[in-house]
Amino acid sequence: MSSPPVVLPPGRQVSEAVSLMASHAIGSVIIVDNMRPVGIFTERDLIKCLAANGKNGLDMTVIECGSRNLLVLRDNNCIVEAFYLLNKFNVRHAPVVDSRGVLVGVITLKDIAYRMVEEPDLLLDLLELSVPELSKDTLYLLIRGLKK
């Protein structure tokens, strides 16, 4: 998990999110209201926003162009659960909240992949799961992607 998370309030412009993502070398910004996640703005959201609105999309708000349908993980989810849920819901970034719903970090598939390389036992835990969404091919492709 990356902490502290990079955040913006809902009314900030897309151009500000793009600047933050570039300066922090990240692919998403969490949209927060009182440090509670209400949305996420990702590189994919940027592409969709610009395709639909041209360069005017940069002046729109992150909540207008971002995604409000969030997968939110708890800080007590184990890494295996996090990987399973990210994979199941086909998302690459998820906010992590504490028991009060306050944002404490962001976890990405890339974070998990690097952790698996550092701790091979995690890979064995993932392989032992018997869920159709989590195939050996999925794990192979994820780890192979790290070498590029």
Residue-wise pLDDT tens digits, 62-118: 999 999 988 999 998 888 888 888 888 889 999 999 989 999 999 998 888 888 777
Query: What per-residue confidence (pLDDT) applies to 77?
Result: 82
In CATH terms, the fold of domain 7-145 is CBS-domain (3.10.580)
Structure-model confidence comparison of residues 21 and 120, the more confident one:
21
- CA angle (92 as vertex; 46, 98 as ends), nearest 5: 105
**5 CB-side CA count, 13 A:** 27
Tell me if 4 sits within 8 A of 26, measured CB to CB.
no
Q: What single string gives the DSSP state of each residue in 89-131?
A: TT-SEEEEE-TTS-EEEEEEHHHHHHHHHH-HHHHHHHHH---
Query: What per-residue confidence (pLDDT) applies to 82?
Result: 86
Model confidence pLDDT, tens digit, residues 13-32: 999 999 999 999 999 999 99
Please list, in sequence order, all residues whose beta carbon lies within 8 angstroms of the beta carbon of residue 95, skipping any fewer than 6 positions away.
Answer: 5, 30, 37, 40, 70, 72, 73, 103, 105, 106
Kindly provide the residue ranges of all beta strands, DSSP E only, lying in 5-120, ordered along the sequence: 7-8, 28-33, 36-42, 73-74, 93-97, 103-108
- Mean pLDDT value of segment 9-15: 97
Which residue matches tokens 């959201």? 45
Q: CA-CA distance, 38 to 90, in Å (whole number)?
A: 19
Please list, in sequence order, all residues whose beta carbon lies within 8 angstroms of the beta carbon of residue 72, skipping any fewer than 6 positions away.
Answer: 37, 94, 95, 96, 97
pTM for this entry: 0.79
